[in-house]
Amino acid sequence: MELRQLRHLMAVAEHGSFSRAAEAVHLTQPALSRSIQALEATVGTAVLERNRGGIVPTDVGHLLLTHARLLDTVTRDLERDIALTQGLELGELRIGVGPYGGSALVGPAIGQLNRAHPGLRLKTVLAPWQELPDRARARDVDLIVVELSQVQQMEDFAVQGLTEHAMVPVCHPLHPLTRMASPTLADVFSYPLAGPSLTPALTAVLQKLIPASQRAQQKKRGLLAVECDLSGMLKDVLRHSHAISLMPAFMVAAEVAAGQLVYVPGIELGLRVRFGCAWLKARTLSPVTERFMELLAEHDRSLATLAVPVP
């Protein structure tokens, strides 16, 4: 029994079709069929069967798949650990980021790492923050960059936090709030709130910020009037509506400098957000990963110095 054959079985089980599985593993369909037949000859029974829904594993097939997935994970980890000896001049780093804060942070650090070590292969995987831990567990990525409350309670992850960033209300320059001499929190929350999908912790904090007189109305219409995880699209929403959003200042610094968006003056939310890197405790950090984390921390510290103008 060969690991290659077990991986072929995994592919057929995943795709439910010999033709799609053959394409995924870069084999012809007859070659894939021969590999499965050789596996069945080794175990002495069928490992796949056809039903109305397609091709599914038999009981023996399910047993093989359970062990095959474990073997595949261990083998990939071994291959990765061997590759770590190549240091910073060769190798690969796969970084998982969310489409909101994480993606706004990592670009400069990736660029600096590429400039210093052009032989590296650097890959970013963009996914909703809810999916990123499972992407790391599946070994799709080596490291994820997330808001820390999203992973701190997960016992299988180690984390390294970055600096805290103040959250500030943001809107378009002609918004009614910008014409107020001293807008209040009640004024801010009287307008629709736009933002990314929220963690339970952040939801609880925001609900406490809303003035008591507005909580019933806010609860009725929902905390977010516009939910959008793409930071670029969210900024477009702000530019074309009276919605406001609560963001770290660094995320909108370029738009504020260009006059496309503004910070609502005089509002202190007392709300902080902290991003960080997380990785599986069971995995060794490569020199490439450690260097990326150093560059990301340096970049994040520089962002923390951004000043938010106050009246």
| Domains in the chain with CATH codes | 3-84 (1.10.10.10), 87-163+274-303 (3.40.190.10), 165-272 (3.40.190.290)
* Cβ neighbours, 10 Å, residue 141: 23
Q: For residue 309, is pLDDT > 70?
A: no
Per-residue HEC secondary structure of 25-47 comes to CCCCHHHHHHHHHHHHHHHCCCC
Whole-number Å distance between alpha carbons of 165 and 271: 8
- Name the average pLDDT for the chain: 86
Cβ neighbourhood burial of 240 (10 Å; 0-12, 13-18, 19+): exposed
Q: How confident is the model at residue 70 (pLDDT cuts 50, 70, 90)?
A: confident
- pLDDT at position 234 over 80: yes
Residue-wise pLDDT tens digits, 256-308: 999 999 999 888 888 888 999 999 998 888 888 889 999 999 999 988 776 55
- Distance (Å, whole) CA 260 – CA 56: 55
Considering only CA atoms, give the Rg of the chain. 25
Q: Is the pLDDT of residue 78 over 80?
A: no
Residue 85: per-residue pLDDT? 56
DSSP 244: B
* Spatial contact of 171 and 235, defined as CB atoms under 8 Å apart: no
pLDDT band at 83 (very low <50, low <70, confident <90, very high): low
Terminal CA-to-CA distance of the chain, rounded, Å?
A: 73
